[in-house]
Amino acid sequence: MVDKKRFIKGIKQKHDWQLTDNQVTPESVFKDRRNIIKTLGLGAIGASLPGQVQAGIFDLFGKNETPKFLTHVLKYAQPSEFKLAQPATPKSKAIRHNNFYEFGTSKTDPYENAQGFKVNPWQLTIEGLVDNPITLDYDDLTKQFALEERTYRFRCVEAWSMVVPWVGFSLASLLKQAGIKSGATHVAFETLFDPDQMPGQKNRLLGGGIQYPYVEGLTLDEAMNPLSFLAVGLYGKTLPPQSGAPIRLVLPWKYGFKSIKSIVRIRVMDKQPPTTWNQLAPNEYGFYANVNPEVAHPRWSQATERSIGEGGLFSAQRIPTQMFNGYGEYVADLYKNLDLKTYF
Ligand code: MTE
């Protein structure tokens, strides 16, 4: 049952999993010369340059900095409604172990291939069955809505997990501003389609065989649930491209593939929209994709997950997976009449 009181400013109730800010792991500094060369597009040529020339390249960016996409600090209201007892995954892990097939299918491809991604100008449209269609430009994304920080558990369908402090605003606040028309039942989401910037959209092999643009969807009740979050930042700063800049969805009770990145269109509809992974392999990836330790993926169990922390994926600790990723008190009611084995 959703406890509505906990969402009213000032009357929120503390849970044992709520924590103070200083328990969130701080940003760690990333120093990797090999990646600097790759990001500069020098590849093998760069690696074979004489040491002195290489040193000159590094001096351009200072000794400890990579020439990466620039993020900036976000201002958001404190304290947050959502905190966790678990420490957050180190930032260096959360931004270097990603799934963003538009930039390649390996976990490090998005970090390595997305640093030149341009997010300004940007346009996000909210359209379809709404009273007031909205277009948000790049500045609107961080300025039109009061931002808050939420530390959520994040569980990928591949059975790894992280804990990430996101900054953003609720999806419901945006949909309410647009005004939902009667008869609406679902909400569809679409990622940018720009093959010149996204190599995976140009090259079928690099893009994992997905038919782009990447699309996702929710029922209207799911979209209006207080947990559904539009993130514009993480670890206190605007999103880097590999994490879905400039705006992405975060749905902590669902498998990570529902949390669509770099969104350009939100469409309110009167039927269930097609979704990327469901179209690709309907027997493996359902429309709902709720985290459920009792429903195995056809090729692996979902009962446990590798929690990614300091040590990386293979030294990661294996922990039990929780029903709805531990967010049942907010979302279980949405599915009380649904057979979750059939509608996985
Ligand atoms: N959104 C787009 N547009 N393209 C993608 O390939 N991958 C999804 C999701 N959103 C994906 C996407 C998957 S499978 C996961 S697990 C999460 O993004 C990963 O988010 P993260 O890289 O921030 O951990």
Q: What is the DSSP string of 245-262?
A: TT-EEE-TTB-GGGS--S
For residue 86, the model assigns a pLDDT of: 87
Distance 231 CA to ligand 1 centre (A): 13
**pLDDT at position 51 over 60:** no
For residue 107, the model assigns a pLDDT of: 96
What token pair was written down for 147? 């931002």
Distance 14 CA to ligand 1 centre (A): 31
> Domain 4-23+66-89+117-335 carries which CATH code?
3.90.420.10
Distance 97 CA to ligand 1 centre (A): 10
Distance 71 CA to ligand 1 centre (A): 19
For residue 130, the model assigns a pLDDT of: 98
Distance 98 CA to ligand 1 centre (A): 7
Lowest average pLDDT, out of 53-57, 62-66, 174-178, 223-227, goes to 53-57
CA distance 259 to 250: 5
- Give whole-number Cα distances, 130 to 134, 185, 187, 331, in Å: 9, 12, 11, 24
Residue-wise pLDDT tens digits, 65-83: 455 899 999 999 866 779 8
**pLDDT at position 206 over 90:** yes
Burial of 18 by CB count in 10 Å (0-12 exposed, 13-18 middle, 19+ buried)? middle
Averaged over 190-197, what is the pLDDT? 98
Residue-wise pLDDT tens digits, 114-144: 999 999 999 999 999 999 999 999 999 999 9
Pocket test for ligand 1, best of 100, 254, 264 (most atoms within 8 A of CB): 100
Sorting pLDDT into bands at 50, 70 and 90, what band is 309?
A: confident
Averaged over 38-63, what is the pLDDT? 35
Residue-wise pLDDT tens digits, 91-101: 999 999 999 99
Q: Whose CA is nearest to atom 13 of ligand 1?
A: 257
Q: Whose CA is nearest to atom 3 of ligand 1?
A: 261
For residue 79, the model assigns a pLDDT of: 67
Residues in the ligand 1 pocket, defined by CB under 6 Å: 98-102, 156, 191, 214, 243, 256-257, 259-262
> What ranges do the domains of the chain cover?
4-23+66-89+117-335
User: Greatest CA separation found in the chain?
Assistant: 67
The share of the chain scoring above pLDDT 90, in percent, equals: 75
Distance 63 CA to ligand 1 centre (A): 31
For residue 311, the model assigns a pLDDT of: 64
Averaged over 260-279, what is the pLDDT? 98
CA distance 252 to 335: 16
CA distance 85 to 79: 15
Residue-wise pLDDT tens digits, 25-44: 333 322 333 333 343 333 33
**pLDDT at position 146 over 60:** yes
For residue 119, the model assigns a pLDDT of: 98
Name which residue leads in pLDDT, 5 or 108.
Answer: 108
**pLDDT at position 15 over 50:** no
pTM score, whole prediction: 0.82
Sorting pLDDT into bands at 50, 70 and 90, what band is 6?
A: very low
Averaged over 232-245, what is the pLDDT? 98
